[in-house]
Amino acid sequence: MRSLHETQTGIVSSRTMSQQLSKPHLIELAKEFGTPLYVYHAEKIKEQYEKLKSAFSKTDTAFFYASKALTNINILKYIKSLGANVDCSSILEARLALHAGFLPKQILYTSNGIAFSEIEEAQSLGIIINIDSLSNLEKFGKKFGHSYPVGIRLRPNIMAGGNLKISTGHDKSKFGIPVTQIKQILDIVHRYDLLVHGLHIHTGSEIKDADVFIKGIEVLFDIVPHFRDLKFIDLGGGFKVPYKKGDTETDIHLLAQKIGEAFANHPNPGGNPLQVWLEPGKFLVSECGYFITSVNVVKKTPSATFVSIDSGFNHLIRPMFYDAYHHIENISNPESPMKKYAVVGNICETDTFAWDREINEVREGDNLVFYNAGAYGFEMSSNFNSRLRPAEVLVKNGKAHLIRRRETFEDLLRNQVEAV
Ligand code: LLP
């Protein structure tokens, strides 16, 4: 744990300026904790959460942090302290949320293709469940009938999101029960007298256009009259954050205004006022994250100058997997002229973070930082090539806390059984 001056933390007072950790601060952290290193900035998470809360202040809205983006227990605890609920995509995420202190009623398990045993476990833990298949809905009905409320995850057949890999609501997607199967859904609901408290959709990630959410609401509102016990409409997550200069983000205020109007114009025929539920992942934790690396080798070739860092897609898979853009800066040499580089990893297959990227002149040993590394960064890391996963640090109130130690050789062997 260490303390830094406020100026070094980059904490800013202006309400319009975004919180950022400064380059000298990041260099200090790299020196203290080594690289590769994931760093998260608590106050940035708070800023994002407050932004959402204030935008939706006129509409009855509950926020469930999509914890799949970043599940470190300290992050979960911090987000709980802000007053958010949590959305989980596996029963183990739900158990992590309980471990972090969330109450069962604050935990939503939005399931997808899971074994019914996980739904039984979720019920026994007392958490909220969104079911995404006719088959599991039927099993749920048989076992629990009217005794335990349930949400239904629907597929609205809407194309949305930054790219096909992260689009989940279209008509070829595996997610949710197609809304066109409403008759089969209602058969099950009536046969078992199910207590359907919620309808859920999540159409994708990095959705810029507020109207996509409104389209989803229209699809749901068409079927709302069939469900007399509804309490919430869950619109999932997927708000876009900026990844590069000039990038636009979802206009949260416009979105809140449009959602508010849509709900105000459609009172629930069942009688209960309908609450809006949202499941932001990237919006809360993408920008709080910095991934700091060190340059191993600068290799000049006729086609490109390759900068090989002490990392790879085993630590940050987004560029290779989604062609995602992460802004990269040379924090060790910020005043030097810009040059073009191919930033690559040290994994033994093509492992490109950025091609033809302008960065301040790079020397071996420099620290390169990747921005927007909070969401789906560490969380999607692996031990490929028998490399160790990085450490994680949380900067809160200007103090740096180690929240996950760097892996060691022993970790690679921990669960292996030397049986032969
Ligand atoms: N709710 C549900 C049911 C989801 O499946 C997801 C994300 C979210 C909420 C949160 O979405 P967000 O607000 O973070 O966009 N690994 C990919 C993103 C996959 C998102 C999967 N589901 C990436 O790095 O871009």
Looking at the structure, tell me whether residues 29 and 59 fall in a common domain.
Answer: no
Closest-lying ligand 1 atom to the alpha carbon of residue 280: 13
| The pLDDT value given to residue 66 | 98
CATH code assigned at 383: 2.40.37.10
Tell me, yes or no, whether 158 and 170 share the same domain.
yes
Q: What is the CATH number of the domain that holds 160?
A: 3.20.20.10
Give the integer Cα–Cα distance in Å for 340 and 306.
9
User: Quick one: 318 and 370 in the same domain?
Assistant: yes
* Domain enclosing residue 318, as ranges: 23-33+288-413
Residue 231 forms part of a structural domain: yes
- Cα–Cα distance between 202 and 219 in angstroms, integer? 12
Predicted local confidence at residue 17, as pLDDT: 60
Q: What percent of the chain has pLDDT over 90?
A: 85
Average pLDDT over residues 189-214: 94
Query: Of 284, 316, 335, which closes a domain?
Result: 284
Residue 419 domain-assigned (yes or no): no
16 belongs to a structural domain:
no
Q: Whose CA is nearest to atom 14 of ligand 1?
A: 281
User: Contacts for 76-82 with beta carbons within 8 Å, 24 or more apart?
Assistant: 76/100, 76/102, 77/101, 78/42, 78/45, 78/394, 78/396, 79/45, 79/49, 79/284, 80/106, 82/45, 82/46, 82/49
Q: Based on the fold, state whether residues 245 and 306 are members of the same structural domain.
A: no
My answer on whether 99 and 218 are in the same domain is yes
- The pLDDT of residue 121: 98
173/260 same-domain check: yes
In the three-class reduction of DSSP (H, G, I as helix; E, B as strand; rest coil), residue 260 is classed as helix
Q: 310 and 179: one domain?
A: no
98 within some domain: yes
Whole-angstrom distance, CA of residue 327 vs CA of residue 315: 16
The answer as to whether 136 is a domain residue is yes
Domain co-membership, 228 together with 271: yes
Q: Is residue 137 part of a domain?
A: yes
Asked if residue 4 has pLDDT above 90, the reply is no
The pLDDT tens digits of the residues spanning 339-387 come to 999 999 999 999 999 999 999 999 999 999 999 999 999 999 999 999 9
In a domain, 9, yes or no: no
Are 299 and 400 within one domain? Answer: yes
Question: How far away, in angstroms, is 285 Cα from ligand 1 center?
Answer: 12
Q: Ligand 1 centre from 166 Cα, in Å?
A: 7
284, 302, 326: which is the final residue of a domain? 284
221 and 320 part of one domain: no
- Nearest CA to 297 out of 238, 246, 344, 231 is that of 344
State pLDDT tens for residues 217-255.
999 999 999 999 999 999 999 999 999 989 988 999 999
What integer is the mean pLDDT of 199-221?
92
Rounded distance from Cα 318 to ligand 1 centre (Å): 13
What pTM did the predictor assign? 0.95
* Confidence band for 162, pLDDT divided at 50, 70 and 90: confident
Most informative mutation of 52, 67, 68, 108 for ligand 1 (most atoms within 8 A of CB): 68
Q: Are residues 253 and 359 in the same domain?
A: no
Residue 193 covered by a domain: yes
Q: Would you say the CB of residue 280 lies under 6 angstroms from ligand 1?
A: yes
Domain count, the chain: 2
Note the pLDDT of residue 157: 86
Give tens-digit pLDDT for 258-312.
Answer: 999 999 888 777 777 899 999 999 999 999 999 999 999 999 999 999 999 999 9
Identify the domain boundary among 246, 269, 284: 284
d(CA 347, CA 386): 10
Q: Do 143 and 280 have their domain in common?
A: yes
Q: Which pLDDT tens digit goes with each residue over 91-127?
A: 999 999 999 999 999 999 998 999 999 999 999 999 9
